Structure 1
Amino acid sequence: MTGPARRPRRRRGDEGETLVEVLVAVVLMGVAFVTILGGMGTAIISSVTQHKVTSADSVIRSAAEKVVSDPYVSCAGSYETPAPPAGYTVTVRIEYWDGVGAFGLPCPTADTGVQKVTLTVHSTGPHPVRDATLEVVKRESMLS
């Protein structure tokens, strides 16, 4: 007769993983995935915002160059600006030098030949950025 059946001894490292170890690994991978996904989302939103800021800057500088290159118009109602791309609007506000020390909105009876032109670019869409503003002082040419 033979003795009782013996089970083979397991070697160290053959035990496998427990359910707790698998759950901990899945949770750690989930946290890492959510962190990476959140970082990518933030990077995409930052990129879109920076693109809009850069585009608004380009639009306002183009408008300012056009205003500066146009001839001075006494008591001008507005100055023509290039058509902005879709999603942007440009507003022009003109103030007139009063000859004493301040700019005012209405055109004085005697135009002093100095205007302050304020250009504002507003962006629209899902991620609008703050308005960009640029002021240009325009003088009447003394050569005419």
Structure 2
Amino acid sequence: MTGPARPARRHRGEEGETLIEVLVAVVLMGVAFVTIFGGMGTAIISSVAQQKVTGADSVIRSAAEKVVGAPYVSCAGGYGTPTPPAGYTVTVEIEYWDGVGAFGPSCPTSDTGIQKVTLTVHATGPHPVRDATLEVVKRESMPS
């Protein structure tokens, strides 16, 4: 009577992983790399977008300071378009108080001395962000 078969003994240096163990390890490493690089890409894109939003806020506040500091211009003129840094565009829209209760795009027959200046800053580039808008109400200074 012979006993149960014994597995063949491995000699030193013949130990190692099976093909399935290697494939599982490679797949897990691939998933980890894709997750890490995807997260890094998302972080970079959101960082660029936040920089543009912060830059647009700075540009619009600077433009508003120029409008506030400029002397009042009646219906005949405007406050110009401030020169923004590269990557931004600024538009200026002026509405005039009609003296009754509303602002309108055209100057009333007599200037009431109140204007609403709307500044809009748009950040240009491949990743669009929301435009920044700021309204400034400008009054003609009354003589003392």
TM-score of the aligned structures, taking structure 2 as reference length: 0.87
Q: Give RMSD over aligned pairs.
A: 1.9
The aligned amino acid for 1:9 is R
Residue 75 of structure 1: how far off its partner (Å): 0.8
Question: What SS does the aligned partner of 1:121 have?
Answer: strand
Residue 95 of structure 1: how far off its partner (Å): 0.3
Identity between Structure 1 and Structure 2 (%)? 85
> Which stretches of structure 1, 4 residues or longer, exceed 2 Å deviation after superposition?
7-11
Structure 1, unaligned runs of 5 or more: 1-6
Residue 10 of structure 1: how far off its partner (Å): 4.1
Q: Which residue of 1 aligns with 2:89?
A: 89
Q: Which residue of 1 aligns with 2:30?
A: 30
Structure 2, unaligned runs of 5 or more: 1-6
Contact 2:82 2:90 in 1 (8 A): no
Question: What SS does the aligned partner of 2:137 have?
Answer: strand
Question: What SS does the aligned partner of 1:80 have?
Answer: coil
Distance in 2 (CA, whole Å) between partners of 1:18 and 1:135 is 70
Q: Bigger CA drift: 20-29 or 128-137?
A: 128-137
Contact 1:67 1:81 in 2 (8 A): no
Contact 2:122 2:131 in 1 (8 A): yes
Q: How far does the alpha carbon of each residue in 1:79-121 deviate from its partner, in whole angstroms, 9 at most, with x for none? A: 1343101121111000000111100010111111000000011
Distance in 1 (CA, whole Å) between partners of 2:109 and 2:41 is 57
Matches within 5 A, 1:42-53: 42-53=42-53
Alignment partner of 1:125 is 2:129: no
Residue 141 of structure 1: how far off its partner (Å): 0.4
TM-score of the aligned structures, taking structure 1 as reference length: 0.87
The aligned amino acid for 1:122 is H
Contact 1:53 1:129 in 2 (8 A): yes
Q: How many residues align?
A: 136
The aligned amino acid for 2:74 is S
Distance in 1 (CA, whole Å) between partners of 2:111 and 2:76 is 10
